[in-house]
Amino acid sequence: MLKNMLLIITNIPTPYRTAFFNILNNALLSVNSKLHVFYCAKSEPGRYWKFIETENNYDYTFLDGSHISLKGVHIHLNLNLVRSIEKIKPTWILLSGSWNAPATLITLAFRKKINVPILFWSEGHFDAEVRKNKIINFCRKLVFSKINNYLVPNGKSKEYILSYNEKAQFGLLPNTIDEEFFSVDKDKLLVREKLNIPYDKKVIVLISSLDHRKGVLDFFEAFKELNSPEIYVVQIGFGEYFELLKKEVENNNIKNYILTGQLDKNGVKDYLIAADIFALPTRLDPNPLTVIEAAFMKKALLVSSKAGNVDELVKDNVNGWIIPSIDKEKILVFLKIIENKTLDEVNEMGWKSFEIATKGFTRSKAANNVVSFLKLLEANENIN
């Protein structure tokens, strides 16, 4: 019989979490423990992933509940949550969701009745706060003061939690991606030929929604002012600025700035293989997975300081550059630096990105980090 169980409570199943949960369960099994996941709902509006039972190699439960969506906020009320927790008798509970999600608040409200250590998987940081005022800050502090154990993906998230709870202790749980899929398994030049991209240019790829938050207009204006034949840009994605950018490209007869629209993951992968540099000039991004994907694909990284995982993934002038603020002038500075780099220098930076990714962002590494943190909690509990 297995000794311990980690219960994760989260909103809905997603493909990238499913793969990680499989590996986490294997890591737990290796130390006589196991994983169980409570899903508060099967899906949410705007999410089109299919749940395939056979791909989930861990125990899971879909909780009964009522579900409301208001202005992009999805609320799941699972009144059987506490009873379901008591039924499976977990050793630890890891809350994975927003601090004000009903599942979080219900679990904390009944924490004495549940009587097991509660952890919180927090990806928030100051740059990612959407709503903040005195009342919300008070409520955040109240919630975070009830939890002393946190799993965070980066230093920004740790700093954020400490501002609300000085007693907090932390384990590192970086976001992960499908590192097997996002690997360079095709020849770059052959892919460029297929995509009709010049062999001898420095290719920058951006993958994002086309809106103000992602800084795509600022990037385009900087690129247009640079007016360099050495740089070729591919913008992947769709959004409110798509038609505007399309007209700008056509009216200015710009041949080296390509708008692809939305692509499936295989299309995205091909453009990443063809690229030399990945850029994310975002104004707000808690923990973008695209940066991790690009690092595994051996790309030099040009990333905004507002990206939550920038400090862990980008070493300035080693494997890329950090944009301190998002405006045309700042971005132009870095485009000029890229223009003056040789392709060999840029490719060397891409290899540095890969080294960083493989050291800290594999699923097995993340899973082992969780197991190590749980062992630490267990040891501290035995001491006390």
**Residue 345, in any domain of the structure:** yes
Number of domains in the chain: 2
Q: What amino acid occupies position 49?
A: W
Amino acid code (one letter) for 58: Y
Burial zone of 347 (CB within 10 Å; 0-12 exposed, 13-18 middle, 19+ buried): middle
Alpha-carbon distance of 56 to 77, in angstroms, equals 24
The verdict on residue 275 lying in a domain is yes
Is the same domain home to 247 and 133? no
Q: In 10 A of CB 22, how many CB atoms?
A: 17
Same-domain check for residues 193 and 153 = no
The secondary structure of 135-179 as a DSSP string is HHHHHHHHHHTT--EEEESSHHHHHHHHTT-TT-EEEE------T
**Per-residue confidence (pLDDT) for residue 1, from 0 to 100:** 62
366 plus 312 within the same structural domain? no
153 close to 313: Cβ distance less than 8 angstroms: no
Could you state, in chain order, the average pLDDT of each consecutive group of 10 residues for the chain (384 residues)? 90 87 97 97 79 92 90 86 96 93 95 96 73 83 95 92 94 92 92 95 96 96 96 96 96 96 94 98 91 98 95 96 96 98 97 97 96 91 54
pLDDT in the model for residue 384: 40
Q: Could you tell me if 144 and 197 lie in one domain? A: no
Calculate the alpha carbon distances from 355 to 117, 143, 248, 292 in Å: 35, 37, 38, 12
How many other β-carbons are positioned within 10 Å of the β-carbon of residue 367?
Answer: 23
**Interatomic CA distance for residues 307 and 332, integer angstroms:** 19
49 found inside a domain: yes
Say if residue 270 is in the same domain as residue 163.
no
State residue 126's pLDDT score. 72
pTM attached to this predicted model = 0.87
Asked whether residue 183 is domain-assigned, the answer is no
* Residue 181 lies inside a defined structural domain of this protein: no
Assess if residue 68 is contained within a domain. Answer: yes
Q: Which helix (H) or strand (E) is 61 found in, with range? A: strand 59-62
Spatial contact of 97 and 253, defined as CB atoms under 8 Å apart: no
Instruction: Please list the residues that pair with 8 across neighbouring strands.
Output: 37, 94
Q: Is residue 182 part of a domain?
A: no
CATH number at residue 257: 3.40.50.2000
User: Is 260 exposed, middle or buried, given 0-12, 13-18 or 19+ CB atoms closer than 10 A?
Assistant: middle
Q: How many residues does the chain have?
A: 384
Q: 289 and 367, same structural domain?
A: no
Residue matched to tokens 């600022």: 218
What does the block give as tokens for 135?
């009342």
- Identify whether residues 200 and 106 lie together within a single domain: no
Rg for the chain, CA atoms, rounded: 22
User: Look-up: residue for tokens 């979080």?
Assistant: 104
Are 350 and 370 within one domain?
A: no
Q: Are 35 and 58 in contact (CB under 8 A)?
A: yes
Instruction: Evaluate whether 114 touches 147 at the Cβ level (below 8 Å).
Output: no
Identify whether residues 133 and 234 lie together within a single domain: no
Range of the domain at 41: 4-176+362-383
Sheet-wide strand order for 4-10: 59-62, 33-39, 4-10, 92-96, 118-121, 149-152, 169-172
